[in-house]
């Protein structure tokens, strides 16, 4: 049985141009279209929604996220759908 090996940066590279859900170490969450990233996983997202249950959502045209502060990424994820289900 053949198994495909997929490295983390390869997975992120496959997500460029797609929707992604990013959860930061601070608890902040962002969803948007991944425009690009570097070897440190610093990311540029467009059409961004910053999700903050306490203060409400904020729309941003473009944002740069520091890779050192990223806790988790969900390719194709949309946090607003998850929050609506709760």
Domains of the chain: 12-75 (2.30.30.100)
Q: In this predicted structure, what is the pLDDT of residue 21?
A: 96
Q: In this predicted structure, what is the pLDDT of residue 4?
A: 77
Block residue for tokens 């797609």: 18
Q: Encode pLDDT of 2-32 as tens digits.
A: 567 888 899 899 999 999 999 999 889 999 9
- Which position has the higher pLDDT, 51 or 81? 51
CB 75 within 8 A of CB 20: yes
Block residue for tokens 């941003």: 60
How many Å separate Cα 5 from the centre of its chain? 22
Q: In this predicted structure, what is the pLDDT of residue 83?
A: 52
Q: In this predicted structure, what is the pLDDT of residue 81?
A: 60
Residue 78: band (very low, low, confident or very high) from pLDDT cuts 50, 70, 90? confident
For 44-56, what is the mean pLDDT? 91
The values of phi and psi at residue 2, to 5°, are: -90, 135
For 57-80, what is the mean pLDDT? 91
Residue among 31, 28, 29 at smallest CA distance from 45: 31
Distance separating alpha carbons of residues 79 and 9, to the nearest angstrom: 22
Q: Is 78 helix (H, G, I), strand (E, B) or coil?
A: coil
């Amino acid at each position: 049985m053949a198994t495909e090996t997929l490295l983390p940066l390869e997975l992120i590279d496959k997500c460029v141009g797609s929707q992604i859900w990013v959860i930061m170490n601070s608890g902040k969450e962002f969803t948007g279209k991944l425009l690009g990233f570097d070897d440190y996983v610093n990311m540029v997202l467009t059409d961004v929604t910053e999700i903050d249950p306490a203060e409400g959502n904020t729309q941003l045209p473009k944002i740069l996220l520091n890779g050192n502060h990223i806790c988790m990424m969900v390719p194709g994820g949309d946090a607003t759908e998850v929050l609506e289900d709760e």
